Amino acid sequence: MGPKKTAKGFLIGLQYYIFVPENSTAETFFMKKLTFLPYRHLNIKNIIFDLGGVILNIDYHLTIDAFKKLGFDNFDDVFTQAKQTGIFDNLDKGIIAPQDFRDGIRELSGKPFTNQQIDDAWNAMLLDFPVYRLEILEKVHNQYRTFLLSNTNKIHIDVYNQILLNTFGVKDLSHFFEKEYYSHEVHMRKPDAEVFNLILEENGLKAEETLFIDDTEQHVIGAREVGLNAYHLKIKDGETIEGLFKDQ
């Protein structure tokens, strides 16, 4: 008598063998499915994460305060009007190099700041990666196709990669994602439709099966305009991704 087959495996004698998908390990196969609670009614297969505020804790006020302490008294006015000055958007899109950004800061402030002073003040907003958040992100990566989309720049990326190494022992965020999209490398920036469409097209993703999580409302609106299931993470109300992903 041959083996008795079922939908999930087959029985030989008293031994039952389970079919495990090629892209799974025993650990991930038996792991409970993590579900994003706000959208648990949807068939989500892919997740695009924002970085700052969602994964990496940040505080923009620390950078504003740092520049003010240096003597750039109206930095908050310049920073909140970034689209008008262009310098911050241009750095994030990789249109200008870090040295051009530093020269621009000196020109806007009228102060002879050193490169190190500018970098330290600019990086002051970067705080920490909570370990428990990274652990959840690792589990999500094992169960979904995950991607990173961040408005960032060359000055910041070197610093938070070092924070990540010190915190979790991995050299960069590729440990948690199938692919990362950094604005200064792709020369596109949220909330523009082109950067969302780039991720969908390059990876063969269906918008209706894809979740985007960001803590900035205009980015969420931009994602919804291209058909993504987008969630506005309200960090000011205490929302966190580790609090919204649960075993089901």
Kindly report, residue by residue over 78-128, the tens digit of the pLDDT: 887 444 458 999 999 999 999 999 999 999 999 999 999 999 999 999 999
As a whole number, mean pLDDT of residues 27-40 equals: 77
The pLDDT of residue 25 is 53
Give 10 or 135, the one with higher predicted confidence: 135
Token output for 26: 């025993």
Cα 77 to Cα 98: distance, rounded to the nearest angstrom: 21
Q: Looking at residue 45, what DSSP letter applies?
A: -
Per-residue burial over 153-170, b = 16 or more CB atoms within 10 Å of its CB, e = otherwise: bebbbeebeebbeeebee
Token output for 50: 């924002």
The pLDDT of residue 137 is 97
Strands across the sheet with 179-182, in order? 179-182, 145-150, 46-49, 210-214, 229-232
Second CATH level (architecture) for the domain 26-57+128-247: 3-Layer(aba) Sandwich (3.40)
> In the chain, where are the structural domains located?
26-57+128-247, 60-123
Cα 57 to Cα 217: distance, rounded to the nearest angstrom: 17
The pLDDT of residue 174 is 96
CA dihedral 136, 139, 145, 148 (to 10 degrees): 30
Check whether 5 has a pLDDT greater than 70. no
Q: Residue 11 — pLDDT band, cuts 50, 70, 90? A: low
Instruction: Tell me which of 16-30, 130-144, 189-203 is least confident.
Output: 16-30
As a whole number, mean pLDDT of residues 232-243 equals: 95
Q: Residue 64 — pLDDT band, cuts 50, 70, 90? A: very high
217 three-class SS: helix
Cα 58 to Cα 52: distance, rounded to the nearest angstrom: 6
CATH code that applies to domain 60-123? 1.10.150.240
Q: Residue 77 — pLDDT band, cuts 50, 70, 90? A: confident
What percentage of the chain reaches a pLDDT higher than 90? 81
Check whether 3 has a pLDDT greater than 70. no
pTM of the model: 0.85
Q: Per-residue DSSP letters for 218-245?
A: HHHHHHHHTT-EEEE--GGGT--HHHHE
As a whole number, mean pLDDT of residues 7-36 equals: 57
Cα 82 to Cα 20: distance, rounded to the nearest angstrom: 51
Residue with tokens 């980015």: 219
Q: Which amino acid is at 200?
A: L
* Strand partners for 212: 48, 230
Check whether 13 has a pLDDT greater than 80. no
Instruction: Decide the pairing of beta strands 4-5 and 9-12.
Output: antiparallel
Q: Per-residue DSSP letters for 85-100?
A: H-HHHHHHTTSS-HHH
Check whether 193 has a pLDDT greater than 70. yes
The pLDDT of residue 24 is 52
The pLDDT of residue 86 is 86
Q: Where are the alpha helices (DSSP H) in 110-148?
A: 115-123, 131-143
Cα 45 to Cα 59: distance, rounded to the nearest angstrom: 31
Q: Residue 33 — pLDDT band, cuts 50, 70, 90? A: confident
Q: Residue 32 — pLDDT band, cuts 50, 70, 90? A: confident
Cis amide linkage into residue 130, ω under 30° from 0? no
Check whether 168 has a pLDDT greater than 70. yes
